Amino acid sequence: VNPQEGCRVRIEILGQEYVIKGTDPPEYIEMLAKSVSQKMEQINRQHPSYTQTKVAVLVALQLADELSKIREDYEKIIEELKVLDKIHKSS
């Protein structure tokens, strides 16, 4: 495997196999797959009548929600950091 080209990682989510190509370490991609898989299985258990597509879309929406909220917190903290840095420099 040429590290610059990345590698191919075979993962399984809800019984379906996916081959992911990327420059991230295989263990990282496997960890992401496990986390998505667990979220899908959870929704699947709660709503056994939902199609796999619906389950996957709901997981994507959950993740988009978490991402949007942490992004907001992140931006706030960057602002706070700038303020603290200014106070430190001026003192």
Give the H or E element holding residue 19. Answer: strand 16-22
Least separation in angstroms between CB 18 and a copy of itself? 7
Structure tokens at 79: 């602002």
Residue 90: CB minimum distance to a copy of itself, A: 10
CB of 2 to a copy of itself, least distance (A): 21
72 contacts a copy of itself (rule: CB under 8 A): no
Residues whose CB is less than 8 angstroms from the CB of residue 4 and which lie 6 or more positions away in sequence, other chains included: 23
Q: Counting contacts by CB under 8 A, is residue 52 touching a copy of itself?
A: yes
Other C-beta atoms lying within 10 Å of the C-beta of residue 64: 10
**Quick check: 33 binds a copy of itself (CB under 8 A)?**
yes
